[in-house]
Amino acid sequence: MAPKSRAKHERQSNYMKYAKFWKTYIEKKFTKEFLFSLVWDPKRLPIVSVFLVLAEIILNIFVIHRVKYTEIDWVAYMQEVGGVVNGTLDYTHLKGDTGPLVYPAGFVYIFTVLYYLTSQGQNIRLAQYIFAGFYIVLLSLVLRIYSKTNKVPPYVIVLACCTSYRIHSIFVLRLFNDPVAMLLFYVAVNLFLDNKWSLGSLFYSLAVSVKMNILLFAPALLLAYLTSLGLKGALIQLTICAFTQLILGLPFLLSNPIAYLKGSFNLGRIFLYEWTVNWRFLPEEVFINQYFHLGLLVLHLALLACFYSSALHCLCSYSTLKQVSEKVKRQLKGKKEKVDMGAAAQLFILPLFTANLVGVACSRSLHYQFYVWYFHTLPYLMWSTPYSNIARLCLLGVIEFCWNTFPSTLVSSAALHVCHGTLLYGLWKNKPLSKGRQQ
């Protein structure tokens, strides 16, 4: 046989071998049971996550190029940080088209970087791509958390993420600062789950420095500090959080401390009735009434008290399981066995997400961009209730409907409260101490 013919025959033979190998491999691995598990089995989420992230990259590019950008706060952000760029450090003089600067120093630094990257905010398309990057990173962090907990079926995560118009809009069509704060928060949560408490506290404080809604997680996080690290360890973490705020805010504190504290950490700020998502069914005079705000604060504290015992139980159990797992890991050092920490991760995540939900449900007002505050926690919370899968999906669907109704109506705002109440009741009914269950 001629050398050329022999080489061609060998290539064909190798091709047939590879084709046969891959055919056998696919038939062996991609069985009906395996494909079914990709939909229903929470342990398969890491595999599904790869395809979900790729799909989201394509979807975000499509949205950026096919859906019209809507200006709301981006220009005001650029005007506010533009004042800082020009040398103004007094918060009383930092303003934009939508009003005075009302965010802490971390916001200023991050959006100053965006100010320079986007040619003083003029390059909107580049800003959209940057926020699409924020979305992909945030989604990856969230998927890592869900993968650690092994609680929610993959199809729920895929369905929730890919069908939420509002969330994609908040990131790439509106360019709000809320996604940046939540991105830093999910970095912190991942670090906490990896037992990197100090670094996690640093990122948690950075998230607070972008927007104060991150403080809604604080009650559960403080309890986690105390149960996992003890009083001394908790004080160290609180010091890290406080010192981070001090360092970030120092230039503004030196310029006008009262203006900075009042402007960036104003807990009594009055929201505009025209933008409310959750209180449209109330008259405006009730919406802005201070006694109404005080009542919501009392309700907030009361609900936190209702969940205190279960949160304490979860976090104490989490601390115990972490200690046991570390001991087991040391014993298995050098061996192939893996320690399943799904149960421990659930015990940490549930109180954290529940505390935030309580805060969202009792908020004096919710604006459309605030949806990102708790959107990615909703599947986990739903699957922590005793409801059926159909009921859980229906609740998620109604919540999505409420946040996509613009402007909000009497029905949409009331329905949102019904969903929040139903979810909180399900969490309370299914709390770990109610029947001796562990999540």
Domain tally, the chain:
1
User: Is 31 inside any structural domain?
Assistant: no
User: Is 317 inside any structural domain?
Assistant: yes
Of 105, 284, 107, 251, nearest to 181 by C-alpha is 107
User: Is 9 inside any structural domain?
Assistant: no
User: Is 301 inside any structural domain?
Assistant: yes
DSSP state for residue 270 in the 8-state scheme: P
Cis check: omega of the bond before 219, within 30 degrees of 0: no
Q: What is the pLDDT of residues 300-357, one digit of tens each?
A: 999 999 999 999 999 999 988 887 766 666 665 655 445 455 678 999 999 999 999 9
Indicate if the pLDDT at residue 30 is higher than 80: no
SS3 label, residue 17: helix
pTM of the model: 0.91
Residue linked to tokens 């997400």: 353
- Helix (H) / strand (E) element for 100: namely strand 99-100
User: Is 25 inside any structural domain?
Assistant: no
User: Is 206 inside any structural domain?
Assistant: yes
Indicate if the pLDDT at residue 189 is higher than 50: yes
* Better-scored residue on pLDDT, 431 or 311: 311
User: Is 3 inside any structural domain?
Assistant: no
Question: What confidence score (pLDDT) does residue 323 get?
Answer: 78
User: Is 24 inside any structural domain?
Assistant: no
Question: What confidence score (pLDDT) does residue 210 get?
Answer: 97
Q: What is the pLDDT of residues 386-404, one digit of tens each?
A: 999 999 999 999 999 999 9
Per-residue confidence at 438, pLDDT binned at 50, 70, 90? very low
Q: What is the pLDDT of residues 61-82, one digit of tens each?
A: 999 999 999 999 999 999 999 9
Say how far residue 401 (Cα) sits from the centre of its chain: 20
Of 169, 192, 209, nearest to 370 by C-alpha is 169
H helix count then E strand count, the chain: 19, 2
The boundaries of the domain holding residue 282 are 49-323+341-429
Share of the chain above pLDDT 70, in %: 87
What type of residue is 437? R
Q: Tokens at residue 350, please?
A: 């549930």
